[in-house]
Amino acid sequence: MPVRWIASGTTYANSFVYGNVLVDAGVLPMAVEPYAGAIDTIVLTHAHYDHTAHVKEIARLCGDAAVCIHEADAPGLVNDTRSLAMIFGARSPGIAPDVLLSDGDPVGSLRVIHTPGHTPGGICLYDPAAKVLFSGDTVFAGGSFGRYDFPGGDRRALIASIERLAALDVEGLYPGHGEPAPTGGGRHIAAAREAFRFYG
């Protein structure tokens, strides 16, 4: 199944279309419009505003697609502090999710992996058959990792999450920011693990 990358520029997060699933919703709705007919599920990797800014409009554009987020981050959809919306001069999306996710839940061919550290309810999405990982702000291509100095961040939880990801067989790595790594994703995760040990 192809991964469609919707790049957002430098301020907001990447979005990805994978089958009927849209991963994150910080991009402008017009960028999602070409895929709207295929999308019936929106999964938010966490509640920070750069990943959720346009979720309400995009859900409507996609025929009232179901909005899904980990239960620990759901409050960030209505809380300006938890969502960091004020940093962007904005307000949180102000919506209730349709589905509260937990570790191990399936979303189509994807499996939810709870990866706290950047936020309490941060998640990644993994397709074991395709060896594809949508990593949100847990790890990035190039061997970097998410911040843990925002409200709800946790250094110990983040390194445990990175260690968990490093145990997966990952070929395609699709992070919340920066360029994806369609091949060799596992090497990028291993590099992030080593970088955390030295600089985290």
Residue located via tokens 């702000």: 137
Helix (H, G, I), strand (E, B) or coil at 132: strand
Residue located via tokens 């709207």: 36
Sequential pLDDT tens for the chain (200 residues): 899 999 877 678 999 999 999 999 999 999 999 999 999 999 999 999 999 999 999 999 999 999 999 999 999 999 999 999 988 889 999 999 999 999 999 999 999 999 999 999 999 999 999 999 999 999 999 999 999 999 999 999 999 999 999 999 999 999 999 999 999 999 999 999 998 887 76
Read off φ and ψ for residue 128, nearest 5 degrees. -65, -30
pLDDT in tens, 162-195: 999 999 999 999 999 999 999 999 999 999 999 8
pLDDT at 147: 93
**pTM for this model (two decimals):** 0.96
Q: How many Cα neighbours within 13 Å face the side chain of 134?
A: 29
Report the distance separating Cα 179 and Cα 100, nearest Å. Answer: 28
Name the residue ranges covered by the structural domains of the chain: 3-199
pLDDT at 130: 97
Token pair of 179, please?
Answer: 């360029």
Alpha helices for 45-131 (secondary structure H): 49-52, 55-61, 80-83
Among left, alpha and beta (phi > 0; psi -120 to 50; other), residue 129 is alpha
- CATH number 3.20.20.70 is the correct assignment for the domain at 3-199: no
Beta bridge partners of 101: 70
199 CB burial (10 A radius; 0-12, 13-18, 19+): exposed
188 Cβ neighbours under 8 A, 6+ residues apart:
139, 140, 141, 142, 143, 173, 181
